[in-house]
Amino acid sequence: MEMDCLISYHTFGTVQSGVDRGRALAALDMELLSICEPPRTSKRDYTQAPSVDLGTSILWTTPTFGKVSGSDAAKNEGLPLGNEGVRLERQCELESFLFPRGEFL
């Protein structure tokens, strides 16, 4: 089974003026890349304790980053100290692959 995944994220920066938005977005990019390594994990059943290995894995491709864009902040989404500004946002795509079991059918 294959699934296309779209991951969206944004930042206002970490200071009131928002001058570090680019660095903050780059940090989010690096965090996403680190989450995606290694590009696989074992499927486990966490409905019981201890969890049980289901015997198959989930695999995914390396993320493909889209262009950085900006948008005006919503009235209720301000910078850390309450200022409003333009946020930087990005979307990333990847494909995941798994072998379905009975619970997915």
> pLDDT category, 79, cuts 50, 70, 90?
very low
Residue with the larger pLDDT of the pair 6 and 80: 6
Residue with the larger pLDDT of the pair 44 and 16: 44
Residue with the larger pLDDT of the pair 19 and 80: 19
Q: How far is CA 60 from CA 14, 84, 91, 96, in A?
A: 31, 37, 16, 4
The answer on pLDDT for 7 being more than 50 is yes
Do residues 90 and 69 touch, judged by C-beta distance below 8 A?
Answer: yes
Tell me the mean pLDDT in the region 74-86: 55
Residue with the larger pLDDT of the pair 72 and 1: 1
- Say what the pLDDT of residue 105 is: 43
The answer on pLDDT for 26 being more than 80 is yes
Q: Percent of the chain scored above 70 by pLDDT? A: 82
Q: Where are the domains of the chain?
A: 2-104
Q: What is the amino acid identity at position 4? A: D
Please name the residues in contact with 57: beta carbons below 8 A apart, sequence gap of 6 or more. 40, 41, 42, 43, 98
